[in-house]
Amino acid sequence: MARKRSEQLTDGEQGIMEILWERGESSVKDIAGALAAEKPVAYTTVQTMCKILAEKGHADFRKEGRAFIYRARMSRTEARQSALKNLLNRFFGSSPELLAQHLMRETDIELKDLEALQKKIDETD
C-alpha cells in the first residue's frame, strides 16, 4: 500500500523552498544548480520535487519556452506556522504550554532570554 503524501515539507522540499523564498522565481535548472553547490543532486530529482511542491500547493509554476519556472505559493512564515502546528499536534497534544516547558527543560535558554520573551508576550496582549 502506498504511503499517504504528507502536506509537510520534506528536507529536500524545504531546500527548494528556501531557494524560491530567496530568489522569488527560479527554473528547475537554476534550483538544481543552487542545490548542487551543497551536495550533488540530479536535475530529474529536482524536477520531480518541484512538481510535488506544486501538487501540494506550496509552489506554482509557469512554462517559459521549454523551461518550467517555479515560485513559492506560501511564505516562509506560513510554512513555519504549518510546521509548528503539526509539531504541536503530533508531539504535544496541541498544547503550546507543553512545548514551551519542553523547550525550557531541553535547551540552554538563559533567564534574560525568557524575560525578553515574556516582554514580547506582554506587548502583544
pLDDT tens digits along 91-119:
999 998 898 889 888 888 888 888 888 88
Taking residue 21's Cβ as centre, other Cβ atoms within 10 Å add up to 14
Span 43-55, pLDDT tens digits: 999 999 999 999 9
Block residue for cell numbers 551536495 = 39
Which pLDDT score, from 0 to 100, does residue 125 have? 64
Q: Which residues contact 109 (CB under 8 A, 6 or more apart)?
A: 103
Predicted pLDDT at 98: 92
As annotated, the residues of the chain forming the CATH 1.10.10.10 domain(s) are 11-72
What fold characterizes domain 11-72? Arc Repressor Mutant, subunit A (1.10.10)
The region of weakest confidence among 60-64, 72-76, 88-92, 119-123 is 119-123
How far apart CA 125 and CA 106 sit, in angstroms, is 27
Residue among 47, 58, 63, 67 nearest 20 (CA): 58
Give this prediction's pTM.
0.79
Confidence of residue 33 (pLDDT cuts 50, 70, 90): very high
